Chain A
Amino acid sequence: MKWEVVIGLEVHTQLTTQSKIFSSASTAFGAAPNTQTAVVDIALPGALPVMNKAAVEKAIQFGLAIGAKVNQRSVFARKNYFYPDLPKGYQISQFELPVVEGGAITINVDGVDKTINLTRAHLEEDAGKSVHEDFHGLSGIDLNRAGTPLLEIVSEPEMRSAAEAVAYAKALYSLVTWIGICDGNMQEGSFRCDVNVSVRPEGQKEFGTRREVKNLNSFKFIEQAVKAEVQYQIELIEDGGKVQQATVLFNPDTGETRAMRSKEDAHDYRYFPDPDLPPLVISDEWVERVRSELPELPAAMQARFVEQYGIPAYDAATLTASKALAGYYEATVAAGADAKLASNWIMGDVSATLNREEKDIVDTPVSAEALAGLIRRVSDNTINNKTAKDVLRKMWDEGVTDPNGADAIIERDGLKQETDTGALEAIVDEVIANNAKSVEEYRAGKEKALNALVGQCMKASKGKGNPGVLTELLKQKLA
C-alpha cells in the first residue's frame, strides 16, 4: 500500500523582550538559578500579572509578516495542569481568541514552491526548568525561565514529508529572526518545535491518528524524528496494529521515538478566560504603525535582488537566507563590486570559509568594502581568479577591513597578474619546448591537451599569468 504522510508543526518562539511577559523580571539567559524571578513568576498569593507591551508588538509584527489577521480583541486563558516548574498550577496562554489568525508561509523543496497555511499564533508564558541531577532523590526547580514570553505558531497539517517539515521550520526560523522577534538561539531553546505526524493510505480523506513529537530543537532532529515516526506508524499498521494518540520524545542518540508514559488526564486542561487579565485590545493605529516600521521581508528582497542586480533567482534566494548576509551582499555591491561576481564570491569562498570556521556572516573578518576591493581587481584583470582566492585567504587571516586592503596585499606579495605579452611569450615558448607529448596530442586534435599546457604555463608564471592571454598565445603558436 502507498502511504501519505501528514505533518503539522507547533513552534514555540521565545520573544526578544528585556522583561517577562507578565512581570518586570529579566529574561536574560544563563543567570544563577532563581535570581530573575518576581512575585508573579513564583506565584505568591495575590500577585497580579501585568502585560508586556513589547511582547504584543512582536506578535503583531509576526502577524503582519505572514499576511495574517491581527485580532483587534484577543483573550488570555488559563491552561490548568500541575507540574513543579509551573508554580501557579496553570499556564497563562490564549485559547479561543488568539492574537493572530491565519496567514501563510511559502517553502521551497527541490525547486518547487509550496504554500503552507498557518492556523494561528498566540501569546503565552514559558514554564521554569526542572534539574534532574540527583538532589538526594529530589528534583531542583529553576524559575528564571518561568514567564518568558512565547509566541506559539501553529501550522495547518499541510506538510507531506520530512523535507517539507524541515523547509517549513527553516522558513519560519528565517522569518522570525529576520523581523527580529526571536534571537533564534536553538541551543538555548529560543525556537522549539513540536511535530504532529500521522499517516494514511494515499487517497484517503480522513487523517490517521497522530502522535506528537515534543520539543525538537534542531532541524536535523526534526528530519530524523519525522522519519522514525513515519516508519514506526506504517510498520505498526501493516502488522495489523493501530496507532494510539500519544505524546512522544525523540532520542537523538538512538534516533528513535518513545511514547511518554501516558497520563490519562494529561489533555484535560480545563481552559477558561483568566479573570486577572481583561481582553487585549489592539487598535488599528497600532497595527498600522507596526506595518510602517516592518523591514523589507525576505520574499520581497529576493524579487528586488533579481530585478535590481540582475542575478539569478537561486542567488537571490541564497543571499536572502539572513538579513545579515543580504546586507553584506548589498554593501559589497554598493562598494563597487560587480553584482554577479559579488554573489559568486559570497556564496562561494566567503560562505565556505564561514562554514568551515563555524562562523556567521556577522563575524566575517573581511569587510564588505574590502571584499569589493578584491572583486574589482578580478574584474579589471589585475589578478586572476586563483590568485584572488589566495588573496582572500590572506585578507581573512589578517582581518582586512580597509577598502584598499586587497591592493596592499597584491602589491606587497607581488601577485599582480602578468599581462605583458613579451614576458608571457617567453614562458609559452619554454613550455612548448618542454612538453612535446602534450603538444603532439593537441596537434593531433586532443583539445584537453591544451588545458595541460595552460596549466604548465600558469605554474611557470607562479600563478600570475592571465590564463586567457596564455591560452590565446598557445593557440597562435601551435596553429
Chain B
Amino acid sequence: MLMSLSLDDVRRIAKLARIAVTDTELAATQQQLNKIFTLIEEMRAVDTTGIAPMAHAQDVHLRLRDDVATAPDRRDAFQAIAPAVENGLYLVPKVIE
C-alpha cells in the first residue's frame, strides 16, 4: 500500500527539523515528500528475500584510528566566528527548564 503524508505530518516533520515551512509552501512540500514514498514503493517491488540489509551505500568497513590526543587548542579561532562568547563559553538563549 502506498504511504502518503498528510499536511499535518508535513507540519510535524518540519517542526522536528526546525524548518519553517509557510502554509503556501506546505502543499508543494507534501507533494515532494510523497514523491519519495513513490520511489520507495517502486524499490519495494524488488524481491530481496535472503539479502541482508545494508547500513551504508558502500560495502566498506569503519576505519579506526589510534587513541592519541593530538588536536591543538583552537578555541580563539573557533570562537572568532561565534555570535556571542564570554569566559570561554559560547552564549546561547537560556535553555534551563
Contact call B88/A35, Cβ cutoff below 8 A: yes
Q: A18-26, A385-393, A435-443: which lies at the B interface?
A: A18-26
Q: Does A452 have its Cβ within 8 Å of any Cβ on chain B?
A: no
Partner of B79, one of A34, A140, A277, A280: A34
How far does the alpha carbon of A82 sit from the alpha carbon of B17 in the complex, in Å?
9
**For A36, what are the chain B residues with a Cβ–Cβ distance below 8 Å?**
71, 73
Q: Given A24-B69, A34-B79, A37-B75, A53 and B64 touching (CB < 8 A)?
A: yes
Instruction: Enumerate B45-94 residues with CB–CB distance to A below 8 Å.
Output: 55-58, 60-71, 73-75, 78-79, 84, 86-94
Contact call A55/B56, Cβ cutoff below 8 A: no
- How many Å from the CB of A183 to the closest CB on chain B? 15
**For A135, what are the chain B residues with a Cβ–Cβ distance below 8 Å?**
86, 89, 91
Question: Can you name 22 A-B residue pairings with CB atoms under 8 Å?
Answer: A17-B67, A19-B69, A24-B65, A25-B69, A33-B88, A34-B78, A34-B89, A35-B73, A36-B73, A37-B75, A50-B64, A84-B92, A97-B55, A138-B94, A139-B93, A140-B89, A142-B89, A260-B97, A277-B56, A278-B58, A278-B61, A279-B55
Instruction: Enumerate B7-46 residues with CB–CB distance to A below 8 Å.
Output: 12, 15-16, 18
**For A33, what are the chain B residues with a Cβ–Cβ distance below 8 Å?**
87-89
Contact call B55/A55, Cβ cutoff below 8 A: no
How far does the alpha carbon of A273 sit from the alpha carbon of B91 in the complex, in Å?
31
**For B74, what are the chain A residues with a Cβ–Cβ distance below 8 Å?**
37-38
Contact call A140/B64, Cβ cutoff below 8 A: no
Q: Residue-by-residue, is A324-357 near B (CB-CB < 8 Å gives 1, otherwise 0)?
A: 0000000000000000000000000000000000
Which size bracket describes the interface of B in this complex? Answer: 35 or more
Contact call B61/A18, Cβ cutoff below 8 A: no
How far does the alpha carbon of A38 sit from the alpha carbon of B95 in the complex, in Å?
24
Residues of A within 8 Å of B, CB-based: how many? 55
CB within 8 Å of B: which residues of A? 17-19, 23-28, 32-38, 42, 44, 50-56, 75-76, 80, 82-84, 97, 130-132, 135, 137-143, 260-261, 265, 268, 270, 273, 275, 277-281
- How many Å from the CB of B6 to the closest CB on chain A? 16
- How many Å from the CB of B83 to the closest CB on chain A? 10
How far does the alpha carbon of A42 sit from the alpha carbon of B79 in the complex, in Å?
10
Q: Does B2 have its Cβ within 8 Å of any Cβ on chain A?
A: no
Contact call A53/B55, Cβ cutoff below 8 A: no
Partner of B63, one of A24, A51, A84: A51
How far does the alpha carbon of A24 sit from the alpha carbon of B79 in the complex, in Å?
19
Contact call B56/A278, Cβ cutoff below 8 A: yes
Q: Does B96 have its Cβ within 8 Å of any Cβ on chain A?
A: yes
Contact call B71/A139, Cβ cutoff below 8 A: no
**For B79, what are the chain A residues with a Cβ–Cβ distance below 8 Å?**
34
How far does the alpha carbon of A131 sit from the alpha carbon of B84 in the complex, in Å?
14
How far does the alpha carbon of A275 sit from the alpha carbon of B57 in the complex, in Å?
8
Q: Given A32-B88, A37-B75, A140-B86, A24 and B68 touching (CB < 8 A)?
A: yes
Contact call A275/B56, Cβ cutoff below 8 A: yes
| Closest partner residue, chain B, to A57 (CB atom) | B67
**For A130, what are the chain B residues with a Cβ–Cβ distance below 8 Å?**
95-96
Partner of B62, one of A23, A35, A265, A280: A280
- How many Å from the CB of A287 to the closest CB on chain B? 15
**For B57, what are the chain A residues with a Cβ–Cβ distance below 8 Å?**
275
How far does the alpha carbon of A28 sit from the alpha carbon of B69 in the complex, in Å?
10
How far does the alpha carbon of A55 sit from the alpha carbon of B56 in the complex, in Å?
21
**For B69, what are the chain A residues with a Cβ–Cβ distance below 8 Å?**
18-19, 24-28
